[in-house]
Structure 1
Amino acid sequence: MSGLHRHTGSTCLLDEACADHACLHPPLERGGLIQRLDPRSRVLAAVSFALLVVALSHLPTLAVAVALAVVAAVLARLEVGTTLRRLLALEGFMVLALMMLPFTVPGDPLFTVGGLEASRQGAVQALVILLKANAVVLMVLALVGSMDTVTLGQALRRLGAPEKLVQLYLFTVRYLDVLHREYRRLRTAMRARAFTMRSNRHTWTSIGYLFGMLMVRSVERSERIVAAMRCRGFDGTFPSLETPTRFQRPDGLFALASLAGMVMLMTIESL
């Protein structure tokens, strides 16, 4: 029995280690041309594109920016269904503000709904915001969203990001998933006891206990993690066994193409 117990315990530890590795290295989209580039060049291109698009204000320029983002998504071979769901989530978050803008921005009347006049300037501003958000999000998904967590953290570190910020990012991504799994485990236990959501005092009390237990278990888990890291001699850095990538010819071509695209956007904006 003791041998079986040791074997079972080892299996549990291996399962947890595999779960940790799967969280830090999520499955990526099918490899495309974008995935062959140095992660640093992809991060720099995404940040530069986002800053430029935010500064644009004309609809033709923003339409070209969206087209460039679509081209990048095609080169990255993003999953169409997943990408559309993410964009729809963005639109759902912005829909209320975009619907209110035509009625709150003064300008030339465009149409009337229930005695409220919608202005042409407000409609244009709403469209500008919509195009900006979609262009930036789609480009970030294509260039950065197709990286795994560790690769992005290493790229940020090599670009000069503060070490503590990189570690905070890695820990946040890792343990948000842990908290989510713990929450699902507690909710399953509640459903096994025939708990159903209702608008009464018992439901609100149970939900309070749920989040209280989640916080308690989070604190306990963090204490175990700190103890485990100290036992392994954690010195404040995450050593990597992977060979650092270097800028190569494809990265230079990608940098030139990115620069040409941004120059084209600035030219269209000035015209």
Structure 2
Amino acid sequence: MSKIHPTAIISPGAQLDSSVTVGPYSVIGPHVRIDAGTTVASHCVIEGHTTIGRDNRIFQFSSLGAVPQDKKYTNEPCELTIGDRNTIREFCTFNIGSPGDRAVTSVGNDNWIMAYVHLAHDCAVGNHTIFANNTQLAGHVVVDDWVILGGFTVVHQFCRIGAHSFTAMNSLLFGDLPPFVMAQGQPAQARSMNFEGLRRRGFSAERIAAVKAMHKALYRDGLSLADAMARIASLTEKTPEATPDVKMMLDFLSTTSPQRGIVR
């Protein structure tokens, strides 16, 4: 307990590994669990049924595990779960889930979350994402792995954001953003594919060529969504190594709500 500042208020029911550091004036509630190596800076509030994994860095003035901003919520024991090795910068607000959905707001591993980011109830964030300052996610948003959201990106409730996609600063998402797509605007429109990000992650030239072909089918050739999906499915014949990428795109498109649609 020598790593707990004497001005911090830790509930007797909280479960903190002996290696956890808690800074001055932070408050940790009775249903919180924090695993080894995590650092909580000063003036943080961690409450609710919140589980935080190993080696996270939580900066000052963050609020994690507060009740959802949902008028239907009536003190159900919903949860917030945060994985390992995440960086959570100043003034972030992550709410617990709500009983109308999964009842869990979740954050995976190795995410870089900058200042003033808001995750509303029942959001599900994957791994290796980057959320720049003031990214705001409404309730029930799903963000897959390796997504980068530019500063002041705002995402409408129930939207999904596919793996390896990217938004420019001040983007406003009202629809699902498919994997690999770069979007910009208010409302956001598809501009290109995240080719530089794929190169940095070791995608081969052949796989990147397949992603270019997906972009052409979805956005350049005036095809219906069904016809675009059929063309995308055929890409595996020419480029077998792109089969996981094609499957990911088709799975995403096939589960998009017709009412919401994809970012065009």
TM-score by length of 2: 0.22
Q: Which has the higher contact order (CA 8 A, sep 6+)?
A: 1
Higher helix share: 1
Higher strand share: 2
